[in-house]
Amino acid sequence: MTLDEVLHPAVEPLRQGRLAVGDGHELHWETCGTVDGIPALFLHGGPGAGTSPTSRRFFDARRYHVVLFDQRGAGRSTPLGATHANTTRLLIDDIERLRTLLGIERWLVFGGSWGSTLALAYAQAHPQRCLGLVLRGIWLGSQEEIDWWLYGIRQFYPREWEAFAGHVDASERHDLLGAYQRRLTHPDPAVHAPAARAWARYEGSCLHLVPQPAQADAFGADAMALGVGRLEAHYFAHQAFLAPNQLLQGMPRIAHLPGVIVHGRYDVICPPRYAHALVDAWPGVKLRMVTQAGHSSTEPGIAAELVAATDRFAQTGGFA
């Protein structure tokens, strides 16, 4: 089974535009599919990773009207890698601006990794705007999860972690986040660009059950690395701009919504423990644990479950 075999056919955007949201931020957005189809919102991961043409292919273009956008500082939004006026609350406000602009009343919210965090935060802030949620690679934004990413992944990817930690001086490695933030926010590209590449390459090297060097190279490319490196460190430093345990405690606000969680059994970026914690707080949600997969949505087993979820929702309005 290949990725092309499980995804829907490639489609081109119906509309594209730019949305100024204040403080110098301008978002790239696009739609695809069928204008009178089921409205759906795609939220990318990272933070800072941006969307790609593959993002459109999790939805049947004959049945869905899909909205995709690059979040503040990510992808084709500008300025790339900008951390000023960049918080979870502001991203939620951006989503509402975009929904209003496009005249959408309610939509299915689809998000993976950081996108799952933002999807939950958005749904809890605006439950009346959501038809349901498709979530992949659950990340709840806790300090425990942040510490795991910074230090725990070395148990599974020791050489990749050594390259990541080795980018900073040995005396700083007790506080990798602080050491990287100092470099990532440095005005000199000769300082922040290599730090961004090292940060992003570390993540890109650990995404798949079977390592994919091309994915690591893609994450380490300058355009991707600056958004991923700066924004992930920025959101880590502020615990994703969430109160402790906020998303689990907020589940009663959206427990009535249909939802499905797709998670790789061997996901080291976002360990399965947190998917199970969300299941415990969300009666009725469907959990699809993919036994031969890591974190990436481009692993065929994960992609197949995501496509099955959007297809099922289009047919039945749920995930049973």
15 with 122, same domain? Answer: yes
CATH assignment of the domain containing 109: 3.40.50.1820
**Residue 298 in contact with residue 54, Cβ under 8 Å?**
yes
Residue where one domain finishes, among candidates 240, 255, 289: 240
253 with 112, same domain? Answer: yes
Residue where one domain finishes, among candidates 240, 264, 284: 240
Residue type at 232 in one-letter notation: E
22 with 137, same domain? Answer: yes
231 with 259, same domain? Answer: no
53 with 91, same domain? Answer: yes
Can you give the pLDDT at residue 161?
97
Whether the CA torsion 31, 37, 39, 42 is positive or negative: it is negative
- Catalytic positions are 113, 267, 295
**pLDDT tens track for 229-245:** 999 999 999 999 999 99
118 with 20, same domain? Answer: yes
Can you give the pLDDT at residue 33?
98
Q: Give the C-alpha separation, 219 to 226, whole Å.
A: 10
27 with 102, same domain? Answer: yes
150 with 286, same domain? Answer: no
228 with 294, same domain? Answer: no
Q: Give the C-alpha separation, 246 to 224, whole Å.
A: 29
**pLDDT tens track for 53-105:** 999 999 999 999 999 999 999 999 999 999 999 999 999 999 999 999 999 99
pTM, two decimal places: 0.97
Strands 107-112 and 130-136 turn out to be parallel
Can you give the pLDDT at residue 213?
79
204 with 109, same domain? Answer: no
Residue where one domain finishes, among candidates 221, 240, 259: 240
Counting Cβ atoms within 10 Å, is residue 251 exposed (0-12), middle (13-18) or buried (19+)?
middle
253 with 136, same domain? Answer: yes
Q: Which domain holds residue 67?
A: 3-142+241-316
49 with 127, same domain? Answer: yes
The distance in angstroms from the start CA to the end CA of the chain is: 24
218 pLDDT tier (thresholds 50, 70, 90): confident
